[in-house]
Amino acid sequence: MNKRIITRISNELGNQLFMYASTFAIAKKLGRDLIIDNETAYKSKKNISNYGLNNFKISSNIASSIDKFLGLKGYLKRKFLKKINFILKSKIFYVESKNFNKITRYNDSFIRTNLSNKVFFEGYFETERYFLDIKDKIIQEFDFKDKIHFEKTPFFKKIIQKNTVSICLRQNRFIEGKKNTNTKNKFKSDNFRDEQINYINKSITFIKKKINDPTFYLWSNDLDNIDMSLFNTEIIKVSLDPQLLLNLDKRVFDLFLISQCNHHIVIPSSFNWWGAWLCKRQDKIICRPNNNFFTHFKINNLDFWPTNWIEIS
């Protein structure tokens, strides 16, 4: 049996793409096969998201049930194995390291760690430093299965025109999920929205100095409740026809369209990050916020932003 890495995929689509790309690259570096655990995290009662990598032409196989931790028995087994992992000479778990503030960054200790023939990887691994050296291969892995259908939307023909710019706005950030709706979180969400708009307006000003006649397109998880007068230029909201969404994953549809824009204004969002990163234009301008920009939200990976993206402060 070949040596394997079994990667636990969890959370939302942007997180999933990082988990897959990073462990795919790590597996290549270590000469191992990559296997995907696409169920364990999504069977949890706490989970509110869905596995989405099945929408891409990825080459890795799905793990068999024996290599997943399903049900109460699987939960207890995983908990036990992780607890004894530190005393094992050959590690059966490799978990992304965090500092005391729960902050991560690129870490190549997997090269020096004695790993068992079958090792379970867990973590977000949210930096391109893991996979930048095989960028073309990762773009190939994330080819969209349904792109023929995605190209049928009228927005596609407009977005691929010259000097189009994608913008994303994350709303209700701190009141999502169960039992999070309270006055404190509502204030934090509103503040985060306002700070994003401030950053976006600064980025718009920057881009207008760099390219002629840009056209701006906006994606948001809540398009209906946006005061468009707060932006310092005309912006087109991208709202997809429900008929086009039948049997399609809206998350992936949006990601595809974002990736087709020429240039990008990226907020601190792994989903938005991937929309810009997957853009194939060589002359693309990508703006990102200064790390000290947001009051209530910080990126948890110190290497999150690619070095060639333009920092707006």
What one-character DSSP code corresponds to residue 232? S
Per-residue pLDDT, 281:
94
The residues of the chain scoring below 50 in pLDDT are none
Q: Residues 308, 311, 313, CA angle at the centre, nearest 5°?
A: 175
Q: Which residue in 82, 106, 81 sits closest to 29, CA to CA?
A: 106
What one-character DSSP code corresponds to residue 11? S
4 φ, ψ to 5°? Answer: -130, 150
Per-residue pLDDT, 295:
84
- Longest Cα pair distance anywhere in the chain, in angstroms? 61
CA distance 216 to 245: 23
- CA-derived radius of gyration, the chain: 20
Per-residue pLDDT, 46:
66
- Letter string b/e over residues 146-170, b meaning 16 or more CB atoms within 10 A of that residue's CB: eeebbeebebeeebeeebbbbbbbb
User: 7 in helix, strand or coil?
Assistant: strand
pTM comes to 0.95
Give the residue carrying structure tokens 């005393």: 87
Per-residue pLDDT, 180:
74
Report the amino acid identity of residue 106. Y
Per-residue pLDDT, 14:
97
Q: Residue 99 class from Cβ within 10 Å (0-12 exposed, 13-18 middle, 19+ buried)?
A: exposed
Per-residue pLDDT, 309:
98
**H or E stretch covering 38:** none
Two tokens, residue 168: 């994303």
Q: To the nearest 10°, report the CA torsion of 7, 146, 144, 70.
A: 0
How distant, in Å, are the alpha carbons of 138, 240, 259, 271 from that of 21? Answer: 6, 28, 17, 14
Domain ranges of the chain: 4-132, 146-312
CA distance 272 to 182: 27
Per-residue pLDDT, 169:
97
Q: What share of the chain is helix, strand, coil (3-state, %, to 5)?
A: 40, 15, 45
Q: Look up the CATH number of domain 146-312.
A: 3.40.50
Two tokens, residue 68: 């997943």
Q: To the nearest 10°, report the CA torsion of 197, 286, 26, 90.
A: -30
Per-residue pLDDT, 178:
62
Own/partner pairs, 288-292, CB within 8 angstroms, 24+ separation: 288/312, 289/199, 289/313
Is residue 7 within 8 Å of 34, Cβ to Cβ? yes
Per-residue pLDDT, 45:
60
